[in-house]
Amino acid sequence: MSIGKSIRYYREQKDVSQQWLANAIGVSKMTVSNFESDKRYPNVEMVKKICEALDITLGKLMSYKDDVEIAEAVFHSSNKLTKAEKNAILAQVRLNLQMYHDACMCANAEVDENRLPKEKIPMGTDLEEIAAYIREALHLPASGPVGNLVQTLERSGVFVTIIKRNAIAKSFSSLAAMTTNGVPIVAISSGLDRYGQREELTHVLMYLLFSDINERILNNAVEYFLLPSEDIIRELGRKRKSLCAKEIRIIAEKYGVFEKCVVRRAKEEGIINRKWQNNIQNIIVDERKAELPTRLLQIVLRAYTEGETSISRAAELLQTDSSTAATTLKE
């Protein structure tokens, strides 16, 4: 365990500079830099000051694990994010992953194995081929609705986590990352409804599967993955003179996509013409409750049920208060 990496990690999570921390603990910026690079080690009193400044316990500072270090990360739609915001988001992602690892240790459970393909492949330009490969990578049928996409990713060994939008960065959408020991990560903003969330999840999943991302092709491939050609033709027929809004809404709900996605896919498959497509721009898109990750909670529930962890430790792992944790675990 590197205390220097731990100090840097919790400093970045708090989104403060080395100079800020130096001022808070009464040392020079160079001293903080030396602490973080392990060129110099803080004494016991200095460690206490660091914990107070970063608002963490000594146990938390000392529990940092190198095996959940993020090796690479790709942000989607990140133009408005500052470097400090990106660092803060990555620090939160890493903390969430560490809580999952700690929960697995408490429950004597194995960290889920990465079941995604080990090597990335070129994306290509054929949308149907791209969509088919994504389904194959997730061990899904070639057609039919994709159920709970969050849980589908978790079953494939992907660590999925939610980042509270207003807590760190309002403009954050999603990211894909990989740890040094090969754990794939997907993080998405809490500010998305179900349909927007499923689009973002598919976007960043492709960063984990393909080596040469073309954003324009990627955007179209998302809809082909969620609503394949075979399905849209089966649902609507090969040729239609018109569609009703309720019919579109039913299909959108069934496949977990925006209603305008159904219309676009119908146009792409030649089921309707462009003139008809342009006549339905006022379809109301209802928000749907987002899908939530469950793997961490499931592991904590196992540890608590087996008597391997306390309410207070469960609260720490779930990053909530003891009262909320008790309610969650005893429901």
- Tell me the mean pLDDT in the region 143-166: 92
- Cβ–Cβ under 8 Å, residues 151 and 297: no
- What DSSP assignment string belongs to 158-213? -EEEEE-HHHH-TT--EEEEEETT--EEEEEETT--HHHHHHHHHHHHHHHHBSS-
Residue 237 clears pLDDT 60, i.e. is over it: yes
Give residue 19's pLDDT: 93
Spatial distance between the Cα atoms of 190 and 163, rounded to a whole number of angstroms: 6
pLDDT band at 284 (very low <50, low <70, confident <90, very high): very low
CA 253 → CA 194, 197, 238, 269, 287, distances in Å?
10, 14, 21, 20, 11
Question: DSSP state, 256?
Answer: T
- Tell me the mean pLDDT in the region 45-53: 90
Give residue 274's pLDDT: 75
The whole-chain average pLDDT of the chain stands at 86
pLDDT band at 232 (very low <50, low <70, confident <90, very high): very high
Spatial distance between the Cα atoms of 92 and 294, rounded to a whole number of angstroms: 18
- Tell me the mean pLDDT in the region 294-315: 85
Two tokens at 74? 């790709």
Highest mean pLDDT among 127-141, 169-183, 191-205, 256-270: 127-141
**CATH classification of 1-64, choosing from 1.10.10.10, 3.40.50.620, 1.10.260.40, 1.20.1260.10?**
1.10.260.40
Domain boundary assignment for the chain: 1-64, 295-330
Give residue 265's pLDDT: 92
- Tell me the mean pLDDT in the region 137-156: 95
pLDDT in tens, 92-139: 888 888 888 888 877 888 888 899 999 999 998 999 999 999 999 999
- Cβ–Cβ under 8 Å, residues 71 and 78: no
pTM here? 0.75
Handedness of CA 269, 270, 275, 279 (dihedral sign): negative
pLDDT band at 168 (very low <50, low <70, confident <90, very high): low
- Tell me the mean pLDDT in the region 206-227: 91
Identify the residue with better confidence: 75 or 56: 75
Give residue 98's pLDDT: 84
Identify the residue with better confidence: 68 or 314: 314
pLDDT band at 182 (very low <50, low <70, confident <90, very high): confident
Residue 85 clears pLDDT 60, i.e. is over it: yes
